[in-house]
Amino acid sequence: MESTLKITLPEDFIMLCEIFAFKPQVIIQLIIDQISFPRFYAHSHDKGKWATLILLDYLDNEHHWNKKERKLNEHYLEKFFDTLEAAIENTPVDMEMAAREIIKEWHKAIGKERAKYLLDNLPKDG
Amino acid sequence: MTVQRNDIINIPLEFKLACLVEGFSEQAVLQAFIDHISFYAVLGSGYIKGYREATSALKELNFTNSKGQASEAFANNREIASQCTIEILKIGIQTGNAKAKKNRSRKYIKKLFDTMERTYSTDKLYLAEESVLVFNEDFQVLCEFFNRYPKEYLEYFMSKIDLADHLARIGLNKLIVNGSMAFFAMLMGGFIKDNIRNLAKPATELQIEFIDELQQLHAKNFIVRNVEKRRVIYHNFFYNYYNKTNF
């Protein structure tokens, strides 16, 4: 999926881009390529863990949970953790696949939840 | 009846782990706890930082596991004991600064201390040959008042220290009332500046690596939404470090 983003490039970052002569999008792409719960939790010694750590830290400390979705998210986080625990004897690759299935399921469920919310709040036809 | 003497003090594993993780000296933590026991804080009103937390640990033990016996130490001096207690209670309900009221109650505590006949209290307790805990008057008076050996208070305090549980609860916003742990958390926050941390030696590679991994573990634990499961993860991580440092 491609997307056009509007972001602020901080001065320190721009200077590094210019010194080392790389495009900002190269680094941003590099960072977001690393962000993955299934990969992060299945391969504990992966060197590409830092980007996901930043995301986790953000979720843990700064992100405001949507109250209505909290229960659903807690449920899937728990399911995700249990899946990892159950797959601990498997190979990291199998573990990653099992973990990704949960994220897909979670993603679907949250989509359904939002659709339901929208439908329930449609103005009644007069 | 089990004999509760002072000669052997049991230091529980979780307390050892918490001190190790924070780089605290076990003796210094116990001494800080003792120094913040206040007879006034048992009876009087108002918040005095550190004193309320430490003293509430001691109250918890006395009021939840009460031996229900009258103090033997004042059997021959009941009049003086009740007079002093009443005076302290009177100061307690006055308006004004809690710290100042605590100071005003000092002379009555001194009187109780001078009057009591000792059964339970001592003024010192050796943890090891070179390591000694010193008990203030408040602490000793409270030992006699509630028929407790110093060891009992100290062991109760230590039994309530569980850093793994504390971190799990903070992360999930599920803190519970626990005076002992609240006091320990204040020490973690730098409540007492001197002699709590073992700062003599520079940090080892193992320590640096541990702190680094702990920070990552906080983030990694995001997916663990259950206090007990998080506690186990932290505990295992601390215990692993404990084993490594003991080689």
**pLDDT given for residue B67 in this prediction:** 66
DSSP B197: B
Tokens linked to B223: 């997916």
Read off the amino acid at residue B24.
F
CB nearest A57 (choices: B219, B224, B225):
B219
Mean pLDDT of the residues in chain A: 91
Shortest alpha-carbon distance between residue A81 and chain B (Å): 6
Cβ separation B223–A41 shorter than 8 A? yes
Tokens linked to B11: 């230091």
Q: What is the pLDDT of residues B133-184, one digit of tens each?
A: 999 999 999 999 888 999 999 999 999 999 999 999 999 999 999 999 999 9
Question: Residue B7's pLDDT band (boundaries 50, 70, 90)?
Answer: low
ipTM of the complex as predicted? 0.84
Helix or strand holding residue B125 (H, E) = strand B124-128
Question: Residue B1's pLDDT band (boundaries 50, 70, 90)?
Answer: very low
**pLDDT given for residue B3 in this prediction:** 46
More confident residue, B195 or B105: B105
Read off the amino acid at residue B193.
K
Q: Is B128 helix (H, G, I), strand (E, B) or coil?
A: strand
Cβ separation A81–B218 shorter than 8 A? no
CB B191 within 8 A of CB B50: yes
Neighbouring-strand partners of residue B132: B126
A56, A65, A74, best to mutate vs chain B, most B CBs in 10 Å: A56
Cβ separation B219–A56 shorter than 8 A? yes
**pLDDT given for residue B194 in this prediction:** 73
Q: With contacts defined as CB-CB under 8 Å, which chain B residues touch A42? A: none
CA atoms of B8 and B154, how far apart (whole Å): 12
Instruction: Compute, in degrees rounded to 10, the torsion defined by CA atoms A25, A27, A29, A35.
Output: -150
CA distances from B97 to A50, B108, B174 (A): 50, 18, 32
What pTM did the predictor assign?
0.88
Q: With contacts defined as CB-CB under 8 Å, which chain B residues touch A48? A: none
